[in-house]
Structures are given as C-alpha cells and as structure tokens.
Amino acid sequence: MMKTKTKRWASLLCIAALLAALLPVGGTSYAVSTAQMLGTETETAGDWVGVYGSDGYVLPYYSTTLTSGRDNPVAADVYALPDYVDSYTKYRTAYWTFAPGDPRALQTPDGTARKKLTVYSGTDFTMTFNLNDSDPHLFTVYTTDFGSAETVSQRFEILDMSNQVLDSRVVDTINDGKYITYQVSGSFKLKATKLSGTSAYAEGFFFDEIVPSTATGLTATAEPGREAELSWSDASGGPSVVLRKAGSETEYTELAQVGSGVTTYTDTDLQPGESYAYAIQNLSGMKRSVPSAAALVTIPSYTETVLAFGDPAYAAAEPGIAVELEVTLTDDASAPIAGQPITFTLQGDGAGTYIDAALGSAVTDAAGEATLTYTPPYAGEFTVLASMPPDDVEELNGAEAEVELQVSNPAWDAPPLILRTSEAVQPGALVSLNGEAMIADDWDDVEVKVAPYTGTLSATPGIGATTLDIEQKDELDGRFLTARLPAAADPGIYQLWVSNAEGWSEPVLLNAPRPLFISEYEVYEGLSIDLSGRNLMAQEYGAEGETLLRLQGASTAYEVELTARTPYSLRFVVSGVPQGEYEVEVSADDGDTWHALDSGQTLTVTAPGDDPLGLGVAWADHFEWDQVYDVTDYGAVADDSLDDTEAIEDAIAAAKTAGGGVVYLPEGAYHATRIGVPADIVLMGDGREETLLVHTGGSANFIYSTGDGKTVGRSGIARLGLRASDPDLYPDAFVWFGHDWGAAVNERDLRTASEFFAIETGVEYPVLDPIDTSGGSGRAQGMLVVADQRLVIKDNVNIGWAAQHNRVYMNAYAAVTDNYMEYSFSQMPVAAAYTFIRDNEIVIRAEADVEVHGIGAKALSHVENNIVRYTSPELKTTYHNDGESIFFEMPAGYFATGEILGATADTVTLMPVQPIGTVQARFGGIYVAITGGKGLGQLREVTLDSGTTYALLDEWDIIPDRTSTFSLLTPNDRITVYRNTIEGGQRGIWLYGNAYDGVVADNHLANTDGIYIYSSLVKGSNRSTPSYFNTIVGNWLSGTPLAPGGVHATGIIAASQRNGTGGAFYSTGIYGLDVRDNFLAGTQTPVAGSSPYHQKYSGLVSSAATLSSDSPKVFTPEDRDNANVVYQTNRLDTLNIGLHLMDGLYGHIEAGNQYIDVLDEIYEHYGAGTSGLLELPDSYADRRPPAWPAQSRLSAADAGSGKAELSWPEARDNVAVTGYRIYQGGALMDTVGPAVLDYEATGLSPGTHAFVVTAVDAAGGESYEGLMVAYTE
C-alpha cells in the first residue's frame, strides 16, 4: 500500500467534460470545437520557458520597455503562433507595467529576463484564437494580479465561435501566478470576467502538444477500516494523478500525485455507506492528459448514530460568562451510547484563526450524555460543532450536531460620550457632535445644551444653559448629532453637554483654542517659534478676544510677544524668560482661559548661543562657528578647473580633528568628485552665485554624510552654488544627509542622525532636459535626508530637472522656508512630525509631461503661505497618477483592516481580514482607528503585545466591541494647509487617505481639480485608509477650460471606496467632514466620461463605491461609507452641478449654500432621495472674511518729505472685497475702496512707522491677517 502527498495542483474535472472529449459540441468553419479543463498549477510562476509554449505563445503588450505606466500608443504583442493557429485577436484588454523584480513576472521568450505587466479589464475581455485543424491541443492561460492578498475572483469561459459555452469555471487564488490548462480542438474564445476585486487578468497564452492518456484498467476495492485500494496499468511508466469525487459531487478533485512506475494507491478515512468514483491522469512535466480509466466503489455501512444538543441555542450576556454545553448520543433505535468521545469545536468568524476553535472534549456517560463548560472570550455569533468520529471497532457511524452560540456585547447603560465637535462655530451656524449613545427610545431625552466657559467645567448644565436645536440625528446608532448654535447667542467659547435617558454627558469645549504642536523644543532669547493649531483667533467664531501666548513654568507663567497670528498658526518670540522647561499655553479670550499643546511637547529655554547664518534654531549653537578652515590654505585654487577634492577633504579632516568647524570656500569655482561630510562640519561659501562647487565625479552622491555624519549628523551647507561639469554625468543626489538608503528608510526607530541644514544654497542645471541614466549618470536629485530630527532648508534656490529636495524621511522637526524650487520630475515630500513648510515658491514645469508632484507632507505638518505654480499645464497630457500641488498620501501607511475581536480599556485584539504582515513604522507611529460600530472615529497609538493584541498608549474613551471595524495604520493626523496659492496643474490639494483632524483653509486654487478627500478600502489587501474629522473652509477655487485634458472640474470632492466587499458596505471611509464658506467657480461644461487628466465631477461631491470599487454595488439605507458631512454657506458659481451626491451616504446636510448660474443645484446620482440628504431652509450668510493670496506683501516707498507710498495686492473674498483699511501704529488711519491698491501716508515724523492694511467685505468681515510693513522716515 502506497500513500502520496498532493502537490500544488488543484484540478476540477466535470463528468460532462469527460464526455465532451469523446463527443465534441459546437462548430467552426474548420471543425467542431471542444474544450476540456485539465488542471491548474501555481509552482511555475513566471518561469514558463521550457515548461509551456513548446508549440507557440502570445504575450500581450510584451514589447513594452516601460517599468511603470502604459505606452502611448500601446505596445505591440510578442508572439510565436503554432502552424495550426492562423491568427488571434484581443478585445477590451488594457495593461500596466511595473519594475520587473518579481518572480511572478513572465520571462522573456529567451529566458534571460522578465517583464512585469498586468493585462486586465475592469469588466471582461475576450481572446479569440482561429485554428485551422481539428486536432486536440493543449492551451494554457497564465493569470496573476501580482497581489499580496487574494482579492480577485474571475470567471474563465471557453466559447466556440458561435459563443456557445464549452467550459466555464471560477478562477481565484491567483496571487502566486496560476496556470490553467485546457485541451481544445477547433477555433475558440477565452472570455475572462471580473467577479470580485478590481479586474480580470491574463498575462500569457501558451500552446503545447497533448499528453497521451495511457492509464487503463483502474479498479477500486473496499477494504476494512473505511479504505479503498486502487490499482491500474500504465504503459508509459510515468507519473500520474489520482482523481476522486464522492457521492453527489459533480466534479473530480485531485486526490494525489504518484511517481513514475507507481500504479497503486490507498485512499483512507472514507465515509461508511458512501460511494466514490476515481479516475487517472498522466503527467508530463506540469502538463496533463485528459482523465482515463474510471472505477466506482461503495464503502460498507456502519450502525447509524444520532448526536443532539440539549438546548436549541446557547447565549452569554457578554464575554467571560460561562456556558454549559450538553449533548446526547444515541443509535438508530434511540438507545444511548456510552463511552464515546465527543469533540466540541467553535465555528464562525475568527474561529480557528484568531479564536481557539478547540473547545475541548467529553466522553458520553451511561445515558449517552456529555457535558462541556465553555467561557467565551469574545462576543459574536458562533456555531458550536459537536462530533464523534466513526468507530471501526464497534462499527458505529460518526455523528455531528451543531448549535448556535450568541455572545452579546456589553450593553451601554450610561450617558452619552462626546469625542469631538466642529470648530470655530459662529452664532447661527451648525455644530456637529461625534461620540456614542446620543440616542434614546424617546428622542425627547436627547438634548444639547451650552453655557459660556469661564475656566471651570461644570458636570451638568446649569439653569442658565442654552438649549440648541437638533437639526439631524443618527437615528440608527446615535454616534453623531448636528445642532445649531442660536443666532442670538453671544460668540465665544462654550462648554457643551448632550443627554440621553441615562443623564448628561461630561462637558466638552466648543471653540476653545486647540494649539497642536510647535516647531522646536529648545529656544533662547530672541528666537522665534511657530505654533500650529485650531481656534487660535476669536475673530474666526465672531468674538473679539485677543490671542495671547504664555510659557508656563513650575510656578510662574511668562507671556511672550506674538509676531504673527492667524486662526491656524502663531509665531512668538521668546524674551525675558528664565532658562528652564515650560508648557506652551494659548488664550483667545484676553487671558481668561488657557489651553495647552495637544502634542504634549514642552519648550526649554536655553542659554543664548551663536547663529551667524540666521538658521533661527537653538541647535545652531551646536556648531563650532569660530573654527574656520579655508580650503585655499589646503591647496584648493578657485577658477582653475583643476580638481580640488583632496584639498577640500584635507580641510574637512583638519576641522574634524579639531572637534568640528566651518570649511570655508572663498568666492570662485571649485571642482570635486565627491565630498564626504562627517559630524560637526559645515561647508560654507560666500553666496550661491559667488562660490560654486562643481561636480566632476560619477553617479554617486556629490555631498554626502560619511562616518559619524551618517549616525550623529550635525552637518550643513551654506552659501554655495552646486553645479555639474558634465551635462551627461550627474550625481545621484547633489546632497545626501544622514543614513544611507536602507533599513532606516523604512524603520523610524533606526534613525539616529540629527541636526542638518541647507541655507542660501543653489542647485542649477537644465530644468527641461530629462536625465538619461542609461549612460552611467545619476538622477541629479537636489537633496535627500534620512535622519531622526531637526532639519532646516531655508533660502535656497534650486532649478533643474529634479533639483528639489526629493525625499526627506525624518521623525521630527523639519522647517522648509523661503525657498524657490523649479523642477520637472518627481516630488518633494517631507515626512517628519512637527514640520512647517512656509513661504516657499514651487514652480513645476508641466510641459515636460512626466510624472511630477508638488509639496508632500505627513502627520503633524503645517503648510502655509506657499505658491505652487505649474507652467504650461495644457502641455501635460500624460497621466501618471500625479499632478498634486499639495498632498498628504498614505502609501506605506496602512497595514490591516477587519473587525475588533475584543478590547479592554487599554488593549485591543484585532481580527484582520488577511494576516497582518510586517508592520514598519516608516512615517510615524502605528495606530488603530475605529472605522465602524462602537467607538467610531477613535484613533489610538498602539504597540504590539502578542498575536493580534495591541497595547494602547492612551486608554479608549469608548471601548470598542464586536460591532467595531478597524484600520491599523499610520495616520496623517493634525495637518493644516492654510493660505497657499496654487495655479494650474492636474490636481490641487489632495488628502489622500488616513487624513485625520485636517484643515484646508483660505487657499486660492486656480485652474486645478480642487480639493480631494479620499478614503480607500481594499479588503483583500488589508487596506483601509479612512479620512475623518476634516474641515474644508474659506477656500477660493476657480476652474477654466484647459486643452487637451478637457475641462477642469474644479470641486471639493469626498470619495470613498468599496473593493472586495461584494459591493456591500463594510466600513466608514469619510466621517465628520465640514465643508463651509468656500467659493467655487468653474464652467457649466461637464467633463465627458472618465478623464485620466482631471476629476470627472465638479462642485461639491460626496461619492461612495465609485472609484475602483466592486460592481455591482449593493446599497441599503443603513450604509454609511460617507457619514456626518455638512455643506454649509458655500457659494457655487457657473457650474454644471452644484452638490453631487452618490448612494452609500448617511447624515449629509445642505444648509445656506448659494448657487449662482448652476445648471443643476443638487443632483442625486442614483435618483431623488437615494442620498438621504437633509436640506435645511437656511439663507446664505457670509461668515468668512477676505483673505490674502500667498506671499502677499505691503510695500512702502519714499514719496517725499514726511510721506510714504503704500501698495498692496488684491485680496480675495467668497463674495466680494468692499475695501481696505489702513492702520498706522495700531490706529485706523483710513479706509479705501476695493479698486484702490495704494495709499499715500502723509505727515510722517522722523522715525519708524508701523503700517498695517486689512481687507473687508460687505458683511463686516475683516481679514484675519493684516499686511504689515515698517517704514523709516
């Protein structure tokens, strides 16, 4: 007797297909067409050469030379047709290329290389093969999506030329690359149809000779112990495959493969009384014959047994409560059977994977009863299976019984809990509340009250508290409310409560300042610190309080001077504060109440130090500025075109030996191959135009960290211009600071280098000439930094193909200010917490028509007062999923999605839909976000405990339960995009997943797609990237026709995805979105179809289950892909559609929006009422004052004795600017009309005069910021 193990073939053979091989059906002009599926395999992967295609092959689009994207026009196929195939055609196929380093990528026909490309269709595609004979041939299809998790299910059909189906089957589990082999005759078609996932795939098609069927005389004999002994003859003596089907099964499945010369097999563990059919296939390599020989056998019957539970169902009120399970075992005459082992197994979601499925066992007593006590650790709906195996000694048949086990979630018997509220809420405006249990059987028990906050929170609202009207409720789950602050209420800071039948919630603050983070943790006398936050100016919510900032020490607070203030940022200068560690606190009500940093940072005041370059940071004093090493003293000669590398290296070595210092390059041009910079070294010249450092080396980095510069850091460059001597040989990067490209890129805990800077430097080379790396050149990137913390990039001018800072991978504290960057290719992301990107001008040369992006950032980042401008955007016609001007993206920031299995106050156990792979903290900490069910909206940083259980750094406010879904991610949280100007380009401001607590405010976008808030959900890839609690306010967007990409559909677009959900709702993607006080102007001409260059929809859009989502979709009124979205007091002018709503939405409000020359003001994509929109009868109210475009400045020029000529740019307003106010020394001097952009100040006495100009609108709004200038008479 010989038993063999199965390999990775999975063959399903239908009896009808067996007959089809003998009795073909269908017809062609040459012969009757037949098709029979022979098997599948996943061992070969991309190594098809020598395995398949001995007669011929077709590799669609395989002539491409791209490693990313798609050719235009598309690439030709690579093929070698057998002499029996006259021709072929393909219909509705597309392709996309990737870097080739993947074993699943198909080999080139000579076997020397690979090309990685997917051939796919989002719906279905057809390949037609015209054969000129009637002989049988093997036809094999290769399919993969190159995925990391199985998400694709597709139907493969073989059709004859009359489209009659010859074979049809579902093909899935294709991640590893799957080959499906058929025996065909006559002409035929292969039709692939997507069932689930993003597409249907087939990358290669192969023809081979058939494998002869030589197995004969198969016999199957029943043996004691429920076995079947198989025996057959095979003249070939080669390996074989044993096939089996049981009882009513209609298709064979592979049972085993046996080696050469083996013609027997024993099948074991069969069921008493069951009949089995067997067949044999011959193997030749990976190819198979049609099945031959056939045999049937019936296993002798045993005495029937019956197993039954004592109760029809079992239940536990919550996890941790014991349940007693009882079963009875009897024979077919109802007599009890004693002494038999009964095994209890848990079935249901997570059982056997994340929950122990083996509950235990018990032996039946004399009454045939067995009892087991089980304490369920988790809530959920389960099935308990009790089973007894067949008893071969007593000849008893096996028995099974199932019963339901319901373990309930703990009940919420408490008042509501509020997680967060809207911000900057003026009287008369709506306020959204998010939390838990804002619901009751009697809705009269649910109330919202507010009372002024004076510094002390009250447990419950007092008699004088104001009741708010509730405009919208989450009637299903009670997780959000939308109320209205009365128009008659005084503007200011409030404490707020919500009640249910259990009582009042704990109070939360409404409109209180929320300082988020600061730009540094050390400062000394005279230095400035930037602060990012919310509600920082009372003016934003209609109040008049002054904003103040203090440093709170152990016993004393020191108020410091604010030199700049906006609703979202403050700048303060430290003066007169003793050395020590301080909390940073902000007040927006004249100092009545104070509020600390959300980040928990502190600020340490240190002793004053040296900062000769004006870096503006305390750590500038860590350099030895007084130790200067002139490279000309070490043999360097300016302007002689000879190599100065050795002299520069000698100067660096001397400085390093002395403990660090400045390596000085006087005015002139110096030539060097590479310059390694260790810790404590500054390379400094006389100016970016005066001192040039010219690259003469190869493709390696030019200026780079070496030695302890890689691990310690403390290096910088200043006042240098960087050039390349050979336009065909650039360095890979002109500057590379910190760690090498390696593990530290992906693991933030490995980053140790700190304190780098580049100030007053310049990189310059041709900006429109692509870099050709094929001849040995590097990529000519401006700067890359891989480090721990502290980076300053300031006052630099970089112009070139990729001359910008291309990658900054840091943990914290980056300042990118006052730079000019002009480039054509790549991007400029800064991945560091506590990042401030301010006052930069970015010019992107779109006419290069290559992949290009603008400013990128991650969590805890502040992007303000930048200009991002695309030149010649009409010439950018190639789509590379690019074109963002300012973006926050989530790649490498999502790790798992699924359900919460269980939680305590400070732990959470996850049940992911796919196993969690390696979690690398590349861009920040690892967090669990609750994306559905109890605790929706919570975000907690975690560390792995064991298995899928994580420990929380901060306890839950609301402990999630089995109703909760999750995402394991690195969030882009607490991000601010304020008062930037964006011109041209394909896209504008992109919050592309994982965006939490973001603000996009008072930005000016012209000729872009607008503002995009996105959430992806791809279940099979463990991908969920929710975007929650974002505010889009006061932005000014205009879109105009732009050829050849079509019409800019400028809009504010919120989009979520359903992929791998069977088209049904799974979790919330967009939540707590506030869109208000924006102005959108565009065109009434819609974008036709799906444009690859621009967004399809204009205006305000809430879209669910559209982009790359399952089809068909299944919508119900309970779906909440996008939930709790408020569109309030926006102005929409000259648009095709004003408010565009899909299905899958829940809790959307439209209030007080103004539609001007809009063809369709509110459009529900799936029909009236499908979006569940609540329209409130509000009139438009102008609540947002004018704002200045980025980098607006007030100028003052001498106009004669005692006079100064002031001039300023035009401000923007969502309605109209009605005038400008001119202040002198804090006093209002005059007001001028909206067309006046200059003013003559007279009567000026000798001395310095401070002027401020603000913009005003008809509603009385005055710009939050005034343009300031100091003029000396």
Please indicate, yes or no, whether residues 537 and 499 belong to a single structural domain of this protein: no
Structure tokens at 442: 């009697």
- Measured CA to CA, the distance from residue 513 to residue 535 in angstroms comes to 5
Q: List b or e across 1039-1053, with b for residues whose CB sees 16 or more CB atoms inside 10 angstroms.
A: beebeebbbbbbbbb
- Measured CA to CA, the distance from residue 195 to residue 1060 in angstroms comes to 10
Look at residue 1050 and tell me if it is in a domain. Answer: yes
Instruction: Pick the more confident residue, 15 or 644.
Output: 644
Burial of 908 (0-12, 13-18, 19+ CB in 10 A): buried
pLDDT at 1082: 85
pLDDT at 280: 97
Please indicate, yes or no, whether residues 68 and 141 belong to a single structural domain of this protein: yes
- For residue range 504-525, list pLDDT tens digits in order: 999 999 999 999 999 999 999 9
Q: What SS3 class is residue 906? A: coil
- For residue range 1208-1242, list pLDDT tens digits in order: 999 999 999 999 999 999 999 999 999 999 999 99
Structure tokens at 633: 């003293």
Burial of 113 (0-12, 13-18, 19+ CB in 10 A): exposed
Across 395-420, average pLDDT = 97
Residue in 510, 513, 494 with CA at minimum distance from that of residue 566: 513
Q: Is the pLDDT of residue 321 over 90?
A: yes
pLDDT at 16: 30
Predicted confidence band at 243 (pLDDT cuts at 50, 70, 90)?
very high
- Measured CA to CA, the distance from residue 1159 to residue 1084 in angstroms comes to 7
Q: Is the pLDDT of residue 1097 over 90?
A: no
Please indicate, yes or no, whether residues 472 and 382 belong to a single structural domain of this protein: no
- Measured CA to CA, the distance from residue 840 to residue 831 in angstroms comes to 17
- Measured CA to CA, the distance from residue 1079 to residue 460 in angstroms comes to 40
Residue 274 belongs to domain spanning: 215-298
What is the identity of the amino acid at 384? V
pLDDT at 70: 83
Predicted confidence band at 1087 (pLDDT cuts at 50, 70, 90)?
low
Q: Which of 259, 282, 298 is the C-terminal boundary of a domain? A: 298
Across 855-879, average pLDDT = 92
Query: Residue 404: how many CB atoms within 10 A of its CB?
Result: 15
Structure tokens at 1000: 């996009």
Q: List b or e across 994-1022, with b for residues whose CB sees 16 or more CB atoms inside 10 angstroms.
A: bbbbbbbbbbbbbbbbbbbbbbbbbbbbb
pLDDT at 198: 76
- For residue range 261-319, list pLDDT tens digits in order: 999 999 999 999 999 999 999 999 999 999 999 999 999 999 999 999 999 999 999 99
pLDDT at 1088: 54
Q: 386, 309 in Cβ contact below 8 A? A: yes
Q: Which residues are within 8 A (CB) of 1123 and not within 5 positions of it... i.e. 6 or more apart?
A: 474, 480, 1068, 1070, 1071, 1072, 1145, 1146, 1147
Q: What is the CATH number of the domain that holds 730?
A: 2.160.20
- For residue range 513-570, list pLDDT tens digits in order: 999 999 999 999 999 999 999 999 999 999 999 999 999 999 999 999 999 999 999 9
Look at residue 116 and tell me if it is in a domain. Answer: yes
- For residue range 61-110, list pLDDT tens digits in order: 999 998 888 887 899 999 999 999 999 999 999 999 998 889 999 999 99
The pairing of strands 691-695 and 668-672 is parallel
Q: Which of 1109, 1144, 1176 is the C-terminal boundary of a domain? A: 1176
Across 435-462, average pLDDT = 97
pLDDT at 13: 30
Across 591-606, average pLDDT = 98
Query: Residue 1263: how many CB atoms within 10 A of its CB?
Result: 25
Please indicate, yes or no, whether residues 475 and 328 belong to a single structural domain of this protein: no
Residue in 424, 412, 326 with CA at minimum distance from that of residue 370: 326
pLDDT at 1042: 44
Q: List b or e across 800-820, with b for residues whose CB sees 16 or more CB atoms inside 10 angstroms.
A: bbbbbbbbbbbbbbbbbbbbe
Please indicate, yes or no, whether residues 1001 and 1098 belong to a single structural domain of this protein: yes
pLDDT at 501: 98
- For residue range 8-48, list pLDDT tens digits in order: 233 323 323 322 332 233 333 446 899 999 999 999 999 99
Look at residue 1260 and tell me if it is in a domain. Answer: yes
Please indicate, yes or no, whether residues 422 and 352 belong to a single structural domain of this protein: no
Structure tokens at 1065: 């709702």
Look at residue 63 and tell me if it is in a domain. Answer: yes
Look at residue 225 and tell me if it is in a domain. Answer: yes
Structure tokens at 751: 């980053």
Burial of 243 (0-12, 13-18, 19+ CB in 10 A): buried
Look at residue 24 and tell me if it is in a domain. Answer: no
- For residue range 959-1014, list pLDDT tens digits in order: 999 999 999 999 999 999 999 999 988 789 999 999 999 999 999 999 888 999 99
Please indicate, yes or no, whether residues 377 and 436 belong to a single structural domain of this protein: no
Instruction: Pick the more confident residue, 1117 or 1089.
Output: 1117
Which of 14-23, 452-461, 469-478, 1125-1134 is predicted with the least confidence, judged by mean pLDDT? Answer: 14-23
Percent of the chain with pLDDT over 70: 96
Q: 1028, 479 in Cβ contact below 8 A? A: no
Q: What is the CATH number of the domain that holds 562?
A: 2.60.40
Across 1125-1154, average pLDDT = 96
Give the C-alpha distances (Å, rounded to integers) separating 1103 from 8, 76, 1049, 1062, 1196. Answer: 42, 37, 15, 18, 49
pLDDT at 105: 98
Look at residue 10 and tell me if it is in a domain. Answer: no
Computed over every residue of the chain, the mean pLDDT equals: 94
Please indicate, yes or no, whether residues 181 and 263 belong to a single structural domain of this protein: no
Predicted confidence band at 1049 (pLDDT cuts at 50, 70, 90)?
low
Is the bond into 212 cis (omega within 30 degrees of 0)? no
Only one residue has tokens 């889009």, namely 1032
pLDDT at 2: 31
Please indicate, yes or no, whether residues 1171 and 1243 belong to a single structural domain of this protein: no
Only one residue has tokens 């967090």, namely 927
pLDDT at 1047: 52
Q: Which of 951, 969, 987 is the C-terminal boundary of a domain? A: 969
Ordered alpha helix ranges (H), 594-714: 645-657
What region does 1034 belong to: left with phi over 0, alpha with psi -120 to 50, or beta? left
- For residue range 653-671, list pLDDT tens digits in order: 999 999 999 999 999 999 9
- For residue range 363-378, list pLDDT tens digits in order: 999 999 999 999 999 9
Q: What is the CATH number of the domain that holds 227?
A: 2.60.40.10
Residue in 466, 473, 460 with CA at minimum distance from that of residue 432: 473
Q: 1209, 1237 in Cβ contact below 8 A? A: yes
Please indicate, yes or no, whether residues 586 and 692 belong to a single structural domain of this protein: no
How many domains does the chain divide into? 9
Sign of torsion over alpha carbons 1215, 1216, 1218, 1220: positive
- For residue range 781-822, list pLDDT tens digits in order: 999 999 999 999 999 999 999 999 999 999 999 999 999 999
- Measured CA to CA, the distance from residue 352 to residue 401 in angstroms comes to 18
Q: Is the pLDDT of residue 828 over 90?
A: yes
pTM, to two decimals? 0.88
Which of 484-498, 608-622, 866-880, 942-956 is predicted with the least confidence, judged by mean pLDDT? Answer: 866-880
pLDDT at 569: 99
Instruction: Pick the more confident residue, 25 or 131.
Output: 131
Across 50-64, average pLDDT = 97
pLDDT at 8: 26
Please indicate, yes or no, whether residues 899 and 850 belong to a single structural domain of this protein: no
Please indicate, yes or no, whether residues 320 and 392 belong to a single structural domain of this protein: yes
DSSP symbol at 271: P
Look at residue 749 and tell me if it is in a domain. Answer: yes
